Structure 1
Amino acid sequence: MKAIVCKEFGPPSTLRLEEVENPKPKAGEVLITVKACGVNFPDTLIIQGSYQFKPDLPFIPGSDIAGIVKEVGDGISHLRPGDEVFGFVLNGGYAEEVVVPGNACFKKPPMMDFPVAASFMMAYGTSYHALKDRGGLQAGETLLVLGASGGVGLAAVELGKLMGAKVIAAASSDDKLDLCKEYGADAVINYSTEDLKTRIKELTANKGVDVAYDPVGGPYSEPTIRGMAWKGRYLVVGFAAGDIPKIPLNLPLLKGCAIIGVFWGSFAMKTPKENMQNAMELMQWYAKGQLKPHIHDIYPLTAAPKALEAMMKRQVRGKLVIRCTD
């Protein structure tokens, strides 16, 4: 089969399209013919060796997949060959076939096409786990979303509104913020041209935000914590800015706020029942037309490095998708 292979850590230009051996499912696993794979910001870090974990070289990037079940391993009873599914893997998605753990593979709703399915689980799974399980977001609270036009950020904006919060979207350009307004943001902050801490105070009448969702890090984290409300929850989701910030620990003390880590991948693998419940709730919202993933562009498998380059250059609103097979 054809796959995008990372043989050395580095930029997307080091990736190669190669013929590799077809994978085989073991007990508890499912072999998927991959129709589409979502591109996520962590992919850009993983191929450079700068993510929380480093896969052994060589490896195939890609986590968010959608496709058709080709074969099931022993112990799999909820899926059978021919089922249309979407799922999550640690890596291996940028390929024509991939093996997925059975507890991380779900039947795809008939009305959901493959590119949308490949854009769904990581973005919405991460954001819902963050807001519901880690942040305890309540109706009537104020939610600030940094990097709000990206895949997970836009999902957080959409979910925050569904959960009854007032949503403030923060991003780096007006066109990105226009998309956030379309997805329900009540107010916006352009942190390229506006002072983040000042605008948070203005938009909350000096109260601060109850929950902050931060997949960006870098220079925006400290002013966000300074803008937290009493007993607020600051959610550490990622570091798309490239820098892991050093936070003065007197700030959470003075604010009485919590700094909470969010790692959806580990949550999904370690607590599959809870993750399945979240996935079912997300599917119900999708079926009602209340969740609509925004796909910025679709690339062929041969152009996967170009998709990753676009992600790294911050040229993307919503999600990018790689079409792996016809």
Structure 2
Amino acid sequence: MARVVRFHQHGGPEVLRIEDVDLPAPGPSEVQIRVKALGLNRAEALLRAGTYIETPALPSGLGLEAAGVVEAVGEGVADFATGDAVSIIPPQSMVRWPAYGELVTYPAALAVKHPPSLDWRTAASVWMQYLTAYGALIDIARLRGGDVVVITAASSSVGLAAIQIANSVGATAIALTRTSAKKQALLEAGAAAVVVLAEADLEARLKEIAGPPGVRVVLDAVGGPIFEPLTAAMSKGGILIEYGGLSREPTPFPLAVVLGKTLTLRGYLVHEITGNPAKLEAAKAFILEGLEAGTLRPIIDRTFAFDQIVEAHRYLESNEQFGKIVVML
């Protein structure tokens, strides 16, 4: 028996339950992991609430990131052995492979022997944020030295990862945040400049900071009314990559600006990287190199115990965090 988190109905954090379940042995090409830490992601709150891209049969597990020790290996697994310390690449389906549990089973292809320098909290905080930011900025936008990139929701784990990746390739990262409460922390995290949406004319401030020709890359998790000033500040031929939709307001399509500047507006899911073996290997190499060099450093906001999973989800949805929320087992 192992304790796992499941929900029997959609709703708020209070629907999460810790239950005892029997788990089968790992199948062919699978590894079973004794979990030491979980990294929380907004996608898990969306699945719980019934608004995610997956619609689970109930009751359902959830979770996308874990780190722990290999407990057992299935037939045909040659790269891992009992006792190996590993972290998990987020799967294509967290319904099929949920991470919230004392014991979890995953395809061996999704397990990574992380650098020994990483503790459990840090190891559980790596893959979703850096794979998401890498896929958008490096794989798609081809971010390079001299580029100016605007990062919305910059105090999220993905936003902070994007700042670090931009700095690692010599680009200039401009962070956007709703209020001034996190401005200094964003500057200390590596942002070249911070624009506080509640205090500034976004278009004018971005043009002032970026100078000519403007912002080449925008990484946006918000949508909504900021779409127009963001695109207005972009350079000709620039690219805006949308990976979320945090705004509750409609997102206008700035047709004249898109045509006049020949902009690319592109939706993006991290599955584009995790579902492509060649791209995933390139991403893993980039991220592991950055972790070992110290240019990539997960920022952890707060740690909860496994029995506090409901409180952890409440905090996840509070928008108060700066970086990653971790649950320890």
Give the TM interval when normalised to the shorter protein: over 0.9
- Corresponding position of 2:291: 286
In 2, are the aligned partners of 1:134 and 1:260 still within 8 Å (CA)? no
In 1, are the aligned partners of 2:225 and 2:252 still within 8 Å (CA)? no
- Report deviation, 1:243: 5.3
Count of aligned pairs between the two proteins? 323
- Corresponding position of 1:83: 84
The residue matched to 2:49 in structure 1 has which SS?
A: coil
Larger deviation, residues 127-136 vs 74-83: 74-83
Q: CA 1:203/1:6 → structure 2, altered by over 3 Å: closer, same or farther?
A: same
Find the aligned partners of 1:52 and 1:255 in 2 and give their Cα distance.
32
Letter of the structure 1 residue corresponding to residue 52 of structure 2: Y
Deviations, residues 50-106 of structure 1 (Å, cap 9, x unaligned): 112222221111101111111112222111111000012332111101111222110
- Report deviation, 1:127: 0.4
Find the aligned partners of 1:246 and 1:29 in 2 and give their Cα distance.
45
Find the aligned partners of 1:243 and 1:2 in 2 and give their Cα distance.
39
Mind listing any 5+ residue stretches in structure 2 that lack a counterpart?
none
- Corresponding position of 1:271: 276
| Structure 1 runs (4+) greater than 6 angstroms displaced | none
Check if 1:149 corresponds to 2:155. Answer: yes
Q: CA 1:6/1:218 → structure 2, altered by over 3 Å: closer, same or farther?
A: farther
The equivalences for 1:174-323 within 5 A come to 174-205=180-211, 207-242=213-248, 245-268=251-274, 270-323=275-328
Deviations, residues 155-179 of structure 1 (Å, cap 9, x unaligned): 0011101111011111123232222
Larger deviation, residues 313-322 vs 277-286: 277-286
In 2, are the aligned partners of 1:209 and 1:232 still within 8 Å (CA)? yes
Letter of the structure 2 residue corresponding to residue 197 of structure 1: E
In 2, are the aligned partners of 1:214 and 1:235 still within 8 Å (CA)? yes
The equivalences for 1:18-29 within 5 A come to 18-29=19-30
In 1, are the aligned partners of 2:38 and 2:65 still within 8 Å (CA)? yes
The residue matched to 1:47 in structure 2 has which SS?
A: helix
In 2, are the aligned partners of 1:149 and 1:177 still within 8 Å (CA)? no
Find the aligned partners of 1:308 and 1:197 in 2 and give their Cα distance.
34
Q: CA 1:75/1:212 → structure 2, altered by over 3 Å: closer, same or farther?
A: same
Check if 1:170 corresponds to 2:176. Answer: yes
Q: CA 1:19/1:4 → structure 2, altered by over 3 Å: closer, same or farther?
A: same
Identity score, percent:
31
Mind listing any 5+ residue stretches in structure 1 that lack a counterpart?
none
Q: CA 1:37/1:188 → structure 2, altered by over 3 Å: closer, same or farther?
A: same
Find the aligned partners of 2:276 and 2:209 in 1 and give their Cα distance.
37
Larger deviation, residues 63-72 vs 302-311: 302-311
Deviations, residues 261-300 of structure 1 (Å, cap 9, x unaligned): 22113420x2123212211221111111211111001111
Q: CA 1:241/1:313 → structure 2, altered by over 3 Å: closer, same or farther?
A: farther
The residue matched to 1:184 in structure 2 has which SS?
A: coil
Find the aligned partners of 1:158 and 1:186 in 2 and give their Cα distance.
11
Over the aligned positions, Cα root-mean-square deviation in angstroms equals: 1.6
Check if 1:31 corresponds to 2:37. Answer: no
- Report deviation, 1:26: 1.9
Deviations, residues 119-165 of structure 1 (Å, cap 9, x unaligned): 11000111011101111111101010001111100000111011110
Larger deviation, residues 107-116 vs 239-248: 239-248
The residue matched to 1:234 in structure 2 has which SS?
A: strand
Q: CA 1:251/1:8 → structure 2, altered by over 3 Å: closer, same or farther?
A: farther
Find the aligned partners of 1:28 and 1:35 in 2 and give their Cα distance.
22
Output the TM-score relative to the length of structure 2.
0.93
